[in-house]
Amino acid sequence: MNENNFKKVLVPLDGSKYSEKALGRACELVNMFDSKLVLIYVVEKSVPLNFLDRKAYLKMLQKFGNKILDKANSSLSKKGIHAKIILKEGNIVNEIEKVVKKEKCDLIIVGNKGLGSVTRFLLGSVSNKLAQSSSCSVLIVK
């Protein structure tokens, strides 16, 4: 009857405590609405890293991402929630948008800040961009 049901919820993770908060909030929603959960970690490729060994750096980030996703998944399975896991490379916002379209998600849950340090006191850049440009609803967890 109600068409605005949250059937699929996307939670982008970056390993910060804000994203953990967002995950906690997502658990609550999943229990309430009986929806599916998709976790995503995006390895950022847009930063120019010529001075470092780029491949090694990306590998490190990938390892980090896998660790975060595994950790989140194990804490979710303790609560009896099954989640789909995606690891992507590229621009964070673009990749999240693409996944939203591909998986037909109804809701994105993000923390208000992430790991970026510049805009620490304000809304994070990724959350802001998602709120401005995403095609589905966004829940910003504070």
- CB 91, min distance to another protein, A: 19
Phi, psi of 89 (to 5 degrees): -125, 145
Closer by beta carbon to another protein, 115 or else 139: 139
Applying CB under 8 A, the span of 2-10, 39-47, 86-94, 95-103 interacting with another protein comes to: 2-10
Q: Which of residues 111-130 bind another protein (CB under 8 A)?
A: 122-123
- CB 92, min distance to another protein, A: 18
Q: Tell how many helices (H) and how many strands (E) occur in the chain.
A: 4, 5
Q: Is 35 left (phi over 0), alpha (psi -120 to 50) or beta?
A: beta
Residue 141 touching another protein (CB under 8 A): yes
Residue 33 touching another protein (CB under 8 A): yes
Query: If you write DSSP's letter for every residue of 20-88 in order, what string do you get?
Result: HHHHHHHHHHHHHHT-EEEEEEEEE--S--TTS-HHHHHHHHHHHHHHHHHHHHHHHHHTT--EEEEEE
Residue 140 touching another protein (CB under 8 A): yes
Residue 96 touching another protein (CB under 8 A): no
Binding site for another protein (CB under 8 A): 2, 4-5, 24-25, 27-28, 32-33, 122-123, 131-142
